Amino acid sequence: MSESTVELESAASILKLLGDKTRLTMIKMLDTHDACVCEFVAIFKTSQPAISQHIRKLKDAGLVRETRRGQWIIYSLNKESLFYPLVQDVLHHLPNQDFRLKELEEQGLRISCE
């Protein structure tokens, strides 16, 4: 058993959040780089409100934190979360997603948020 056991019911709700391709990719990306909404919008083939709504779920669950920087809001993984150890263990099984941000940079699309 892990040193940090969480309630089964709350674990299920966290896993449900991770059980979505878009959210899981976002969380995996945030594991190595903070990011703003505009970057996610550029990466995923979906609308800005769709991204915002995914982020809200992650934020409501305490998995991500936000920091406003000017007109941008930078999202990061909340390492203080009770579920951070669980999330980390899940992420370890996933392929790195850095290529997505790299592609953005090559297209010059990442400059906007800096």
> b/e per residue, 8-38, with b = 16+ CB within 10 A?
eeeeeebeebbeeeebbbbbbbbbeebbbbb
Residue 91 beta carbon to a copy of itself: minimum distance, rounded to whole angstroms: 9
Site string for a copy of itself, 13-32 (x = CB under 8 A): xxxxxxxxx--xx--x----
DSSP structure class, residue 69: E
Nearer to a copy of itself, 49 or 95 (CB): 95
Residue 6: other Cβ atoms inside 10 A: 14
Determine the interface stretch with a copy of itself among 5-13, 35-43, 44-52, 58-66 (rule: CB under 8 A): 5-13
Q: Taking the alpha carbons of 58, 62, 63, 67 in that order, is the dihedral positive or negative?
A: positive
String marking each residue 74-103 x if it binds a copy of itself according to CB under 8 A: -----------xx--xx-xxxxxx------
Q: What CA–CA distance (Å, rounded) separates 77 from 28?
A: 9
Which residues within the stretch 26-65 sit at the binding site for DNA (CB under 7 A)?
36-38, 41, 46-57
> Residue 111 touches which of DNA, a copy of itself, none (CB < 5 to 8 A by kind)?
none
Is there binding between residue 46 and a copy of itself (CB under 8 A)?
no
